[in-house]
Structure 1
């Protein structure tokens, strides 16, 4: 573990040790239960803590223990109830993420984001703003943009007409190159 590894605070607190000397103890933030906060906050909390644990090379078991150690109050009680009703061999990182997303993110939120992605258009946004929203929502529709080509086609389809007519005929197969061309074209227009 790199010296000084730390988690930036969301001001949610901290929880006890992680049980094993190999597990890095992070000055991380806890969640008291996220039923009172926006779904995106729960989603970003999970994503941020997972990214940090990836950065410090935690094993899947350490990730699970680390995430759970950040729970308290309502969230910790929820996890205890999940743990009670689940066979030990099911209690792994993937199961945790699925259960957490089911409880705090929800299927209806994911479906709404998928629909929003399917209908996403640039409209009056800049290419940079459109790209940010495209990338944020594309994670909910991975099957629709499984390849670079599909990602490019969907991105092009959402561009404003005045940009799309200049960019689409080029059939750019790489997303990074396509977004660069869209930014340049927007600045030239």
Structure 2
């Protein structure tokens, strides 16, 4: 399975998702630590490729490690204020007009941006429960959920 090419995006979530997919492809393609940046840069096309060539030229190190690439990439495509906005969106998320399935999908998508704030399964379960419609929340509360199984 060939990884998806990255050209450019205005959607920071899409950029972060592309990085995650590339990390998964490292395992399938058995990419060594030293070759990860070369591997990823092969899948950057057009504007994204031009950006990386410029950004790479500004780096002092001859070999760019994966962690450094991710930092540079996210600084370009996933600005810190967007991370904060996604975290706020997560903590303000309510089921309201959504079905439980739609709410769970949105919850799961936003949860990846809160990292250490939701570092236990119990915390995730409680936050999920808090966002449910009040009548449903009271029914779920009776179960005293200690884990969140998505």
User: Scaled by the length of structure 1, what TM-score is found?
Assistant: 0.71
The separation in 2 between residues aligned to 1:90 and 1:59, in whole angstroms, is 13
- Structure 1 residues 43-52 or 165-174, which shifts more? 43-52
Q: Deviations over 1:15-39 (max 9, x none)?
A: xxxxxxxxxxxxx44333x15x433
CA displacement 1:37-88 (0-9 Å, x = unmatched): 4333323222222222233332333322111111233222222222222232
Is there any run of 5+ residues in structure 2 with no aligned partner, and where?
Answer: none
Distance 1:62 1:152 in 2: 39
1:15-54 to 2 correspondence within 5 Å?
28-32=3-7, 34-35=8-9, 37-54=10-27
Aligned counterparts of 2:116 and 2:13: Cα–Cα separation in 1: 21
Partner of 1:146: 119
Structure 2 partner of 1:17 = none
Q: Which residue of 1 aligns with 2:42?
A: 69
TM-score where L is the length of structure 2? 0.87
With a CA cutoff of 8 Å and minimum separation of 6, indicate the structure with the bigger relative contact order. 2
2:71 to 98, 101, 104: 98
> What do the CA deviations read for 1:128-184 (whole angstroms, capped 9, x no partner)?
1111111100111112211111111111111111111111232221211xx6xxxxx
Flag as ranges the 4+ runs of structure 1 deviating above 6 A: none
RMSD: 2.0
> Which of 1 and 2 has greater Rg?
1
The structure carrying a bigger helix percent of its residues is: 2
Equivalenced residues, count? 150
CA distance in 2, matches of 1:40, 1:146: 21
